A and B are shown apart, each in its own frame.
Chain A
Amino acid sequence: DAGVTQSPTHLIKTRGQQVTLRCSPISGHKSVSWYQQVLGQGPQFIFQYYEKEERGRGNFPDRFSARQFPNYSSELNVNALLLGDSALYLCASSFLENEAFFGQGTRLTVV
């Protein structure tokens, strides 16, 4: 098993643009969570999806949205990018509640 896979690995966007990040969970995992990790800080929870339904949302603006597909993969969308959105975006999948397995992340740079 390849583990949780995220694409792309790196991305550079301009302020005001929109970005879509993708995540494929471990086979058999139905829960996917997204985290933002700014340099020097721990990951911050953005969303959790389980069986294609949103189960949790962190303290992020409405510019952030996500969805989960029938095959349990997920996308995170960020609109109207700001410089402060530059961060490592982590995806995690779970089979059992709370035991999260993380991907390598997508490094987003907004210029």
Chain B
Amino acid sequence: AQRVTQPEKLLSVFKGAPVELKCNYSYSGSPELFWYVQYSRQRLQLLLRHISRESIKGFTADLNKGETSFHLKKPFAQEEDSAMYYCALSGRDGGTSYGKLTFGQGTILTVHP
């Protein structure tokens, strides 16, 4: 079975402050981890994936297999970062559910001016 946990439903920071959105996962195999973002009145879109190891809009995320975590970080938050963020995992459950994404419950990030 696979599970994704985002412990914070709400996160508020001020503009320019660092932000970290937490994500922990449970999966017995080798997972692929993603962060998806949903801005107000827009569709869910991919922010970044761990295998690409790139920074998008100043966000980075490192997969820590020892701690089974994939926290999303940004050193200086901007007001336009306010959105709903979902951590997601993809793996194969015993060879089935090919390409299935398991999402966490999401964290609403609010960046105050």
Partner among B45, B102, B106 whose Cβ is within 8 Å of the Cβ of A102: B45
CB A48 to nearest CB in B, in angstroms, measures: 5
Measured CA separation A62–B54 after assembly (Å): 41
Q: Which residues of A contact B104 (CB under 8 A)?
A: 42
7 tightest CB-CB pairs across the interface, nearest first? A42-B103, A56-B97, A102-B44, A55-B98, A98-B90, A45-B100, A56-B100
The chain A residue with its CB closest to the CB of B49 is: A99
Given contacts A55-B99, A56-B96, A58-B97, contact A104 B43 (CB under 8 A): yes
B8 at the interface (CB under 8 A from A): no
Interface of A is mostly: strand
Measured CA separation A90–B88 after assembly (Å): 15
Assess whether A58 is in contact with B100, with CB atoms less than 8 Å apart: yes
Q: How many residues of B contact A (CB 8 A)?
A: 22
Given contacts A102-B43, A104-B43, contact A97 B101 (CB under 8 A): no
Interface residues of B (CB under 8 A from A): 4, 32, 34, 43-46, 49, 86, 88, 90, 96-106
Measured CA separation A85–B102 after assembly (Å): 19
Q: Which residues of A contact B105 (CB under 8 A)?
A: 40-42
The chain B residue with its CB closest to the CB of A48 is: B99
Most A-side CB within 10 Å, residue of B45, B46, B98? B98
